[in-house]
Structure 1
């Protein structure tokens, strides 16, 4: 086992946070049951918040972000997990207050570890990452709310972001007609790569659906990743017995709606959390992602980056300019 490893370390000095690639002593992380040599990590908005010093995500510094990791087990004191196993870790406290996947090694409790499903590579696992798991949970909950392809169109917000892009790609592969809320300049990526049927701009969607207590019923379901006026517009635009999932608040943590869509159309608002879900439930979704739900163009949604490129990519995410997914390859 290496004595030192490379990591993106975030340090605080006089209230200023700085992220820089450093060498870290292996002994600084050997605290838990399973040690993993990380091959890939995905880059998420929460990682960008952590790297910027957001105390709502990470309380103490210095810190290594990275809420996702996929790699090979180097050592384990837990039954059922052995050295040589390929595994995935997403969520729980990884990358928040436990040093995460932006380092070449992580040490985690065995209860966080999922064995890599058959049909999925370590790279593909991080093409999904937490965003893909959240997308999978969103699709799963929509389907199990009774949504059928014949019911009509599904609207997806934040369609160029991590959760939105993978949700669009999964739904399109499963045969659902997806309307993406985004800008026309992204039409090639959203329509040809992700498979959406059409695009509606944020401004037009809000003007069309969020000006009254209840609007015309155009959609059978929705996946919202941004909150605010977009989510309230989706709620008001659903057909009878429709459902919308919600998992993000980048636009706003508040929604302004009435009770009418709920009592007149029987719609369902479903909250999605991918962090603290039981590992058995996560495994179920990962197995779907590894097989019939794997998007045809999964790798086209992703850009591989090196650790040296991480700081710039994290800034891109904070500025809301990301398109698709970024995967950190520790071997680059």
Structure 2
């Protein structure tokens, strides 16, 4: 009975519009923005959720109740006249200040959901990624309670390592509400494999690494050692030179990663002397896994380092480094830029 009354009411409204020659006026009203473009600058878009199973009439009432449209019935009639008002898609949509009723309807009818975004920065660690993923309101967490190794196995049972560090590409990822954290990780894993495959195919000859995964390990160290893009090729050359001569890498970020929660904010002599599988002051060659998520530039620099005869570098306290060929030169640079501060 209620449905019958609804359609009778719609027919009456349509009849009145047609009788009065007001279809054009209704179309004009349906396309008018809620506020002017000047006023729109004063407001931010808001998010509007369309639940599963909603129909056009329910959507109209919800939009009106939350203040996004006026004249619920007239809006529904216009939507029935000018678009498929009952063909709507569930999801979370952005409603912009300058939207017209038609633009809101168009978005929902066509499933043009709001795209959220999450940025994973270069040099971040997988534990930080998991924290980010777990705290996003519109991302569904399905990995809660799983170990890092469980997650890697679910994404790729044939991954080069079950330790997740370094396997995911740091970037900005966009997604709609209801996307799972595992889906986002799969996307980042695929991006890293694709990037690594492309850069590995273009690598220099004669590098002291024999597999793409080793490139990830070394690139993660380069990533953590410098944030200056123009320096990465030189930093990589230092480590390549050391590996070629059998010299230990002696990278401070590897000490920090190996200490984990025991890191005290400063590297002490006892930390340098403490053995961990990642302490490159104590082990020969590369650590067993990457220590962070390297970005494109760090991987590229690692696989195509600059040609140099540098074996040392020290921070110049401005985000860059002083490079040295000999230990004597290095010690002078350390005295000038570190001990003399």
User: What TM bracket, shorter-length normalisation?
Assistant: under 0.3
- Determine which structure has the larger strand proportion and give its number: 1
Who wins on radius of gyration, i.e. which is larger? 2
TM-score (norm 2): 0.24
TM-score (norm 1): 0.25
Higher normalized contact order (CA 8 Å, seq sep 6+, divided by chain length)? 1
